[in-house]
Amino acid sequence: MDGRGPTVTDLRATDRSVQAIYDSIADTYDHVTRRNDYDRWVALYLGLIERHGAPGRRLLDVGAGTGQAAVRFAQAGYRVTAVDVSPEMLRQARAKPGAGQVRFVVADVRELPDLGRFDVAVTLGEPFIYLRDEQELSAALRGVSALLTPGGLVVVDLGTAGFHQRHPSRVVVEDGGNEFAVVRGASSRRDPHGSDYLIDRFTTDDGITWRRFRQRHEFSYFAPEVVGRLLGEAGLTHLATHGLHLGELIEEADEELHRKSFVVARKPG
C-alpha cells in the first residue's frame, strides 16, 4: 500500500449540442439503457399506428439513436428510414443484427433533407424534448409533414408537465465495478417549465485514479395547446393525444399524472 487515496480527474462536456452529447456516449449507450423495454415501446407504437391507420408501410424513425426501435419496426414489416443527428449513434445502429433492413441517415430534425415519402413517422424516446423552443419544434414538424404522403400518420411522444415537475427528484446510481454513474434530474436552467438531466460517470483502470465525465441534457416542455397550434401550422390534423401511465397506454393524456403523451396527427389527403 502506498498510502494514496483515490483521486478524481473532472472531465466536463464543453460542447452541449445534442450531437456532441450523443457522439460522446454512443459506445456505452446500449449498456446504460439495457433495461429499456424496446419491445414494449415499439408494440405501443405499432398499436397506435394500427388504431389510427396509415396508408402504407414506409416508416420514418426520427431520432433513431442506436437503432433499437428501427430494427424492430423493420422486423414488423415496415420499410424503415432511420434518422439521427449523431453519426456515432448510427454507427452503433448499423452494427446491430437486422440493421441491413434499415436505411440510416445522419440528419438534424430541424433541417430534414428530402428522404422520399413516408406513410408514417415516429419519434420514439422523446427526441423532440431536446428542441429548444417553439421555432425549433415548428421546423421539425414542418420537416416531417413535408415527407409524409397524403393521409400519412405521425406519432410524436413528449414529456408531460408532470414529468418535468417530478423529474428533478429522480436519482439513479449504477455501480459496475470499474465504472459507476449517478444520474439525476434537475430544474431547468433555460426553460421554466422544462427540466434537465445530469450524468456523472466515474471510470477507473487501477481503482485509485478515477475520471469523472459530466454531462447536462436540457429538456424542453411543450404545452398541448402549443403542440396543437404548431401541428396545424405544419399542415397536420391533430387526431388524438394518448397518455402513458405505469407503462400502460391511456386513452387521453393527463398532463399532471402521466409520464408522457403520444400526440397523433395526420397529413390531410
Model confidence pLDDT, tens digit, residues 208-246: 899 888 889 999 999 999 999 999 999 999 999 999 999
Q: Is the pLDDT of residue 58 over 90?
A: yes
Q: Is the pLDDT of residue 142 over 80?
A: yes
Q: Is the pLDDT of residue 201 over 50?
A: yes
Long-range contact pairs involving 162-171 (C-beta distance under 8 Å, separation at least 24): 162/254, 162/255, 162/256, 162/257, 162/258, 162/259, 163/195, 163/258, 163/259, 163/260, 164/188, 164/193, 164/194, 164/195, 164/219, 164/221, 165/195, 165/256, 167/195, 167/197, 167/219, 168/195
**What pLDDT, on the 0 to 100 scale, is given for residue 76?**
98
Look at residues 39, 109, 103 and name the one whose alpha carbon lies nearest to residue 69. 39
Q: Is the dihedral of CA 113, 114, 115, 118 positive or negative?
A: positive
Look at residues 161, 128, 144 and name the one whose alpha carbon lies nearest to residue 234. 144
| Average pLDDT of span 138-165 | 97
**What pLDDT, on the 0 to 100 scale, is given for residue 133?**
96
Q: Give the tens place of pLDDT for each residue, 78-117.
A: 999 999 999 999 999 999 999 999 999 999 999 999 999 9
**What pLDDT, on the 0 to 100 scale, is given for residue 269?**
87
Task: Give the chain's mean pLDDT.
Answer: 91
Q: Give the tens place of pLDDT for each residue, 109-130.
A: 999 999 999 999 999 999 999 9
Q: Give the tens place of pLDDT for each residue, 3-49.
A: 444 544 444 444 468 999 999 888 888 877 888 899 999 999 999 99
CATH 3.40.50.150 holds for 38-160+221-266: yes
Domain borders along the chain are 7-15+163-219, 38-160+221-266
The secondary structure of residue 102, as a DSSP letter, is E
- pLDDT bracket for residue 186 (50, 70, 90): very high
- pLDDT bracket for residue 51 (50, 70, 90): very high
| Average pLDDT of span 240-254 | 95
